Amino acid sequence: MSVLFLSCQQKERQEITFLPSSENSAKTFEEKLSDAAISIIDPSIHYDPAYFSIKYPNGDVPSNKGVCTDVIIRSYRKLGIDLQQEVHEDMVENFEKYPNLIKWGMTKTDTNIDHRRVPNLEIFFERKGSKLAITKNAEDYKTGELVTWMINGKLPHIGIVTNKKSDDGERNLIVHNVGGGQVLEDCLFEYEIVGHFKYEK
């Protein structure tokens, strides 16, 4: 199996070959999450931040739409983990721990959208997973970890670190959606990193 990716820095198409699933039976959770993220690569996904009414649990926006958080939700669901439900349940029990909800004037949780907001995922991953160091050393960002950025000082963004390497072998590639669909890119240091997490249930 081969997948094309675009280098953020070089903007050139590259081809990566993956092993058949039968050869991947002894992988770690982090490697499986990386594979799950890579499996949902689809540049045709339309970036759409609109509010959608979706079912609960295991609800999703239309399959041809999505934003950066939907990359995370869809990847974890490939591993049987429903972040929509997990985030909602933590918010119900610990509403005061999510100050952004209060900032947005909300008095209760919303299963349609709460898990699709980067600030809420950051709080959830810090509470239920591990908050890791933010550095400028590419080696500190490992397979299956989550990175959040602030683009132009105002747009929160999130992606999954994969086990695939940049052309120079210096950085792990990221699966994310910043407007060009669900893609694999060399963009770890393209934006200001504001969060670094690991979450395994």
Is residue 103 assigned to a domain? yes
116-172 per-position pLDDT tens digit: 999 999 999 999 999 999 999 999 999 999 999 999 999 999 999 999 999 999 999
What is residue 99's predicted lDDT score, i.e. its pLDDT? Answer: 86
pLDDT level of residue 103 (50, 70, 90 thresholds): confident
Q: What is the pTM of this model?
A: 0.88
CA dihedral sign, ordered 164, 167, 171, 175: negative
Percent of the chain scoring above 90 in pLDDT: 81
Residue 10 confidence (pLDDT) above 50: no
How many structural domains comprise the chain?
1
* Domain ranges, residue 101: 2-17+41-198
Burial of 106 (0-12, 13-18, 19+ CB in 10 A): middle
What is residue 7's predicted lDDT score, i.e. its pLDDT? Answer: 45
- As given in the structure block, the two tokens for residue 194 are 């504001």
47 and 67 in contact (C-beta within 8 Å)?
yes
Is residue 75 assigned to a domain? yes
Is residue 66 assigned to a domain? yes
Alpha carbon distance 178, 57 (integer Å): 26
177-189 per-position pLDDT tens digit: 999 999 999 999 9
Is residue 28 assigned to a domain? no
